[in-house]
Structures are given as structure tokens and as C-alpha cells.
Amino acid sequence: MTPKCCFLGFLIGVLLPGVVETQPAHESLKPQRVHFQSQNFHNILHWQPGRACPGNSSIYFVQYKTYGQRQWKNKEDCWGIREFFCDLTNETSDIWEPYYGRVRTTLAGVHSGWTMTQRFFPWWETKIDPPFMNITQVNGSLLVNLHAPNLPYRDQKRKNVSMEYYGLVYRVFVINNSLEKEQKVYEGAHRVVEIEALTPHTGYCIVAEMYQPTLDRRSQRSQEICVESP
């Protein structure tokens, strides 16, 4: 349906209630399924167009606030956009605070009401990717180099913060292929882990994950890297 035809439907609905739809035009324009999706504390607001006129013919306006605040704030980069998403990572950088987002739309001079998210807790709701990992053999030991997934690493003052700020640690596991036995060899925030006391001429596979101890929540595991000890 074209914007012109869509607006004509709204106009008929306003002038002749009950002919087209029982709801006011601005209600049928309201964005649907407004919600946050969070990956590695990158917090993106998503929505779907209203029932009256799906597609990209509408423009959207986004606001946000911290739980407990009365005043909503405009997201300037998402004020009058045609996309169905808005990056609110910087605006929701205090991961311990709950937030709300809301969206409304305008089409051919008709303004919808606001559609608000449920309360969003970055700390609880984000999904963490596994760490990146590479391995080097040094004098009979294995050096495991770990890199956290792509975290924002900045606070409300736009200063860099450490991985510990997010309550995350690395976990490293060693699998002895001959014994088919897995052992956790490290849990902590260090990016370089040395694995010693390996049995000579034995195949080992190394795998790692991110872990949130306070929530007992873990990421998916990284891909295994397998080596043979000298």
C-alpha cells in the first residue's frame, strides 16, 4: 500500500468511524513490538511498523529514560528516521540501571502515540559471545591468549572501563584427547594463561568461555583449538 493510499485509509477512518476500522488512525499507526536486544552490552532498540501501513513509508522518533526519571530524553540520531532500530548503547551504559525506550511514528501529518518497552536491565538481559583465543607452544607449555568479545568498554563519562566492570571473567578448559577428560585450568581476568605439566606426545584441545560469576551465567564456548604436546 502506498503512503497516499494508506493516509486515505486513515482519513476515511477518522471521518467515517467504523467504516474502515474502529480504532483511531493514530492508534493503528503506533509502532509494534518495541523492545531491546542486547549483545555484549551493545543495546539496540528494535520495533515493527504499526498495523495500518507496514513498510518504510513512516518516520520514527525515539526517546529513552532511566527507571525513576520523569523526563524522557530525545535520541537525536534517531529523531525522524526510517529504520526500525536505534542504537542506545551510550545512553544505557550504566549496566546496573534499568531503562525504558519508546517510539512513535508520523505518516502524512498523522502522529501516533508512543509505544514503550518493558523495563530493560542490561546486566541481566545482555547475551555474551565467547572470547577469541589463540595458542602458542613455548618450551613444552601452551600460552593461551584471550580476547573478550566486542564490549563497549566505556562508562557514562565516556571513559574506558575494564572487563571486570561488566562482571566478566575468562574460563579455560583443557581436553586430554587420549583420556577423553576435560579439566578447567583457569578462571579469571588475565588475558594470557599458561598451561603447564602436559604429557608429552599427547593431543590436547583448548576451549574457552566468558563467565558471569554473580549470575552463574556463561557464554557459548569458543571453537576448540587442538594441538599435540612435544
| pLDDT mean by block of 10 residues, the chain; 230 residues | 45 40 66 96 94 75 96 97 95 94 90 95 94 92 92 75 86 90 94 91 94 92 92
Under a CB-based contact definition with an 8 Å cutoff, are residues 77 and 89 in contact? no
**Residue that has been written with the C-alpha cell 583449538 in this structure:** 225
The CA distance from 60 to 47, in Å, is 10
In a domain, residue 3? The reply is: no
Q: What confidence score (pLDDT) does residue 24 get?
A: 57
Rounded Cα gap, residues 99 and 166, in angstroms: 17
Full domain range(s) for residue 142: 132-229
200 φ/ψ sector (left φ>0, alpha ψ -120 to 50, else beta):
beta
Residue 216: its pLDDT value, please?
Answer: 92
Residue with cell 534499568: 98
Determine contact, residues 131/147, Cβ cutoff 8 Å.
Answer: yes
Rg for the chain (alpha carbons), in Å? 25
So what's the pLDDT on residue 22? 47
Statement to judge: residues 121 and 138 lie in one domain: no
Predicted model pTM: 0.80
Domain of 118, CATH number, reads 2.60.40.10
153 and 111 in a common domain: no
End-of-domain residue from the set 125, 140, 162: 125
